[in-house]
Chain A
Amino acid sequence: MAEPAVNRSFVKLAGVGHRYDPNPAIPPAVTGIDLDIHRHEFVAVVGPSGCGKSTLLRMIAGLLKPSEGRVTVFGRAVDGPRDDVGIVFQKPTLLPWLNVRKNVLFPLRHKYGRYNREDEARADALLAMAGLEAFARKMPDELSGGMQQRVGIVRALLLNPDILLMDEPFSALDAMTREQIGFDLLSLWQEQPKTVLFITHSIAEAVLLADRVLVMSRRPGTVLDLIDVDLPRPRTTHTISDARFGELTDRIRKHIYEPDAA
């Protein structure tokens, strides 16, 4: 792509931190995070539980105000919810009284109170792209967990956001479904390039999917390492058996398990 000036930094975090408790004796949840995410880049965030990964995501989404530093998207400071952001949560959080198609269209109905034919066509196209067209009229509880999460991803893509924020989206799924849905996410991302921030507990998943992996420390969450994943794309099951894949996951694992040695 020939837009280097813009590409260099799409989402920029400069010294970003957040504390939930104003008491200075209690460490902040996250502190001093510097990160530049390029346009259409896939960045994964790994770290131990409670290291503030989700806090980071919420600050980028504009759901939470940073108590230190600045988040800018496309050069503009984030000061509230933005409509160019799609969020996928840990649980699919579909509305049980709407069928799959209406769930996908829900963000439009919720934000503007209505949607038109074009929106419906777009929802159908997205469902087809995710291999869900046969399930469009099903109710959420007729779908497996993996299928529900796919619907959650399609819903996040409906407003065609520039940024896709994913908060441990696959952690409730079984290992096999998880791997498959990861590859499906990559092919969706290849077809509809987005800037992705992907939070996960799984080191292997982070390396398998991302361009770069941000490794965070225990509370207070800081950046321990930012790793370039120089594995070729498209990533497949063969990627996992690549020696480089093992090296990269080992490097992250060292940070997590022996933070002082690394």
Chain B
Amino acid sequence: MSLTLPEGRLRRVLLGASPWLFFVALIAVWEVGCRLFSVPAYILPAPSVILNAFFDVEFSRWMQHLWATLRVALLGFLISIAVSIPIAIAMMRSEWLSRTLYPLLVVIQSTPVVAVAPLIIVIMGSDDPSRILITCLLTFFPLVVSTATGINETPPELIELSRSLDAPTRRETWQIRMPYAIPHIFSGLRVAITLAIIGAVVAEFVAAEEGLGYFIQFSTSFFRIPQAFAGLFFLAVVSLLLFKSVQWAQQLLFPWSLPRKGA
């Protein structure tokens, strides 16, 4: 028994570290590969070159681009939440509304936003509002669907309990249905936050003077490939942090909505 214990602990440590080890190994292979085969930096820059490019750009400029992207993504995300949750509730309350709106939502969702983005910019101008709209179009569908799914997932017995108490519909919605929808809403939020970044970047590709998406496109068009890669990695890290923040928010605000960790 005493022999297996350290082995078990080692196994756990390895299991925890393996994604990081894999990531480091991947970077190492990339670096070595680039140097070994002398791949030119304008085709595939080595990680060390990308890192240098990252520090070549002033910190304040990074922050300027980050803020431009982040404010569009987050505002779009928040507006999306504010719009989609009431829509989901309204659709749950009224079958008529659900039948009327659902096809429209599907049409919006299946229209590639990338194709619509230039039109929106033409119609609304190349300022924040049009970029926020593009972000909203991308994020609100998964939120409506996940909220509606969660609301409908409420055990029928609880709806009967509510009805047997003759409680007002408002309380049925807020005290039973919405809390039941929380886990679903959060899985929708996790999808939506990454889509929000995509939406902001797509909008910047079409027309912008700042932002990480703009920075990547600008760098690419001037063949500053290492710089473009640096922007890309920065964007990926930001997106990952936002995704994690949604998870942390769920842990902090609604710990009961997560599966209990095995004792």
A contacts, CB < 8 Å to B: 58, 61-63, 80-81, 83, 85, 87, 89-91, 93, 95-97, 106-107, 109-111, 113, 139, 141
Contacts and interface: CB of A to CB of B under 8 A. Distances in A.
A10 to B, nearest CB: 18
Nearest to B254: A97
Q: Which one of B161, B166, B260 has the highest number of Cβ atoms from chain A below 10 Å of its Cβ?
A: B161
Contacts of B172: 110
B161 A87 contact: yes
A110 B256 contact: no
B157 A81 contact: no
Contacts of B165: 81, 83, 107, 110-111
Given A83-B166, A110-B171, A97 B256 contact: yes
A141 B260 contact: yes
B37 to A, nearest CB: 56
Contacts, number: 56
A98 B160 CA distance: 19
Q: Which one of A91, A97, A139 has the highest number of Cβ atoms from chain B below 10 Å of its Cβ?
A: A97
A141 B167 CA distance: 26
Contacts of B167: 110-111
Contacts of B160: 58, 63, 87, 89
19 contacts: A58-B160, A62-B164, A81-B163, A81-B166, A87-B161, A89-B160, A93-B157, A93-B161, A95-B158, A96-B257, A97-B182, A97-B254, A106-B175, A107-B165, A109-B175, A110-B162, A110-B172, A110-B175, A139-B256
B33 interface: no
Say what secondary structure dominates the interface of chain A.
loop
A92 B158 CA distance: 10
B51 interface: no
B112 interface: no
Contacts of B158: 93, 95
Interface of B: 155, 157-158, 160-167, 171-172, 175-176, 179, 182, 254, 256-257, 260
B179 A97 contact: yes
Given A61-B164, A110-B175, A91 B157 contact: yes
A161 to B, nearest CB: 10
A97 B260 CA distance: 12
A141 B258 CA distance: 12
Given A83-B166, A96-B257, A111-B166, 4 more contacts: A85-B164, A87-B160, A93-B155, A111-B165
A63 B164 contact: yes
A111 B165 CA distance: 6
Contacts of A93: 155, 157-158, 161
Q: Which one of A61, A81, A90, A141 has the highest number of Cβ atoms from chain B below 10 Å of its Cβ?
A: A81
A113 B166 CA distance: 12
B227 to A, nearest CB: 48
A106 B254 CA distance: 18
Nearest to A89: B157
Contacts of B176: 95, 110
Given A109-B175, A111-B167, A113-B171, A96 B162 contact: no
Q: Which one of A83, A90, A110 has the highest number of Cβ atoms from chain B below 10 Å of its Cβ?
A: A110
Nearest to A93: B157
B166 A80 contact: yes
Contacts of A97: 179, 182, 254, 256-257
Contacts of B179: 95, 97
Q: Which one of B155, B167, B254 has the highest number of Cβ atoms from chain A below 10 Å of its Cβ?
A: B167
Nearest to B260: A141
A81 B155 contact: no
Contacts of B171: 110, 113
Contacts of A91: 155, 157
Nearest to A96: B256
A133 B134 CA distance: 54
A197 B36 CA distance: 82
A96 B179 CA distance: 9
Contacts of A61: 164
A242 B160 CA distance: 39
Contacts of B175: 106, 109-110
Contacts of A109: 175
A98 B179 CA distance: 10
A89 B162 CA distance: 13
A63 B260 CA distance: 35
